[in-house]
């Protein structure tokens, strides 16, 4: 049986992606954990390669905040920022095909035992609710009126879940949870500014995966997004954003359906991009 690997944030690091694929077994199944593009030296090349891999049937790619940022720029709703490296995508002859492909990617994936997301999961959500919420955003992205969703996607409120949330506010909170969250309070109130490590969050906030009685505590979760954590293997949670775009590594870690200890799973790493602006 072919192995399955989860892969951390590529962020447009085309050369690192190419090097990683050479090191992985040829018939591997891959799940990329979001932030497929942006900040790296070859967002267009990375995106084309990931699209090709997905269409071959052995790969899937979850959406992250940088991928949604690209969709918003393409829709004319946002402008590129100083560190963005998506101009080549916007000028590419296959721009429409690439954008349509991104819009059809999932926000979360699960086989019932393992969950993969870009950023995090609210403590009030169990596995089933996480997937159902992800599907709400996926439906909005795949609709003909997806630009209306993108136009209302940005903002830090509401920052706490309620089953009564509806419309744009509900979709915004779900999107922020799955693509931006790092810290929250024990009751699930999110904070979006801090990017520090485990012990350096704002007063009263803790890493989302350390919330007591989190409903997904018994689900093995692979996520990306939080590069200051590096490779994290912690209480049924595995973080794989190892700072590829900031001179770190691009990391792939085997996904196992058994209770195999995560430290015994195969890990494959390659050097990242030595970003000229990294500290």
Q: What are the extents of the domains in the chain?
A: 4-271
pLDDT for 279: 47
169 C-beta neighbours (distance < 10 Å), count: 14
Predicted TM-score (pTM) of the model is 0.96
CA atoms within 13 A on the CB side of 20: 30
d(CA 265, CA 254): 6
Q: Which residue has the tokens 């995106």?
A: 47
**Fold assignment, 4-271:** Purple Acid Phosphatase; chain A, domain 2 (3.60.21)
pLDDT tens by residue, the chain, 279 residues: 789 999 999 999 999 999 999 999 988 999 999 999 999 999 999 999 999 999 999 999 999 999 999 999 999 999 999 999 999 999 999 999 999 999 999 999 999 999 999 999 999 999 999 999 999 999 999 999 999 999 999 999 999 999 999 999 999 999 999 999 999 999 999 999 888 887 778 899 999 999 999 999 999 999 999 999 999 998 899 999 999 999 999 999 999 865 556 667 899 999 999 877 654
Specify whether the backbone of 166 is left (phi greater than 0), alpha (psi in -120 to 50) or beta: beta
pLDDT for 197: 80
pLDDT for 260: 55
pLDDT for 275: 74
Per-residue DSSP letter, 117: E
């Amino acid at each position: 049986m072919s192995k399955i690997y989860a892969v951390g944030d590529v962020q447009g690091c085309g050369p690192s992606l190419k090097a990683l694929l050479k090191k992985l077994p040829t018939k591997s199944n891959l799940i990329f954990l979001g932030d497929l593009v942006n900040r790296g030296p070859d967002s267009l090349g990375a995106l084309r390669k990931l699209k090709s891999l997905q269409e071959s049937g052995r790969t899937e790619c979850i959406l992250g905040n940088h991928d949604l940022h690209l969709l918003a720029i393409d829709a004319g709703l946002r402008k590129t920022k100083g560190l963005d490296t998506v101009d080549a995508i916007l000028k590419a002859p296959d721009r429409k095909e690439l954008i349509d492909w991104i819009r059809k990617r999932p926000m979360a994936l699960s086989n019932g035992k393992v969950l993969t997301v870009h950023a995090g999961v609210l403590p009030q959500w169990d596995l089933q609710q996480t997937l159902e919420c992800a599907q709400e955003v996926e439906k909005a992205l795949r609709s003909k009126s997806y630009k209306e969703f993108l136009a209302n996607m940005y903002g830090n409120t509401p920052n706490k879940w309620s089953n009564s949330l509806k419309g744009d506010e509900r979709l915004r909170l779900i999107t922020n949870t799955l693509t931006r969250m790092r810290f929250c309070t024990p009751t699930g109130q999110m904070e979006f500014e801090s990017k520090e490590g485990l012990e350096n969050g704002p007063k009263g906030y803790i890493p989302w995966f350390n919330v007591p009685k989190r409903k997904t505590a018994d689900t093995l979760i692979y996520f990306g997004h939080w590069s200051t954590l590096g490779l994290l293997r912690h209480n049924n949670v595995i973080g794989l954003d190892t700072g590829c775009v900031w001179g770190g590594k691009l990391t792939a870690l085997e996904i196992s359906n058994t209770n195999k200890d995560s430290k015994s799973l195969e890990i494959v790493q390659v050097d990242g991009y030595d970003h000229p602006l990294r500290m």
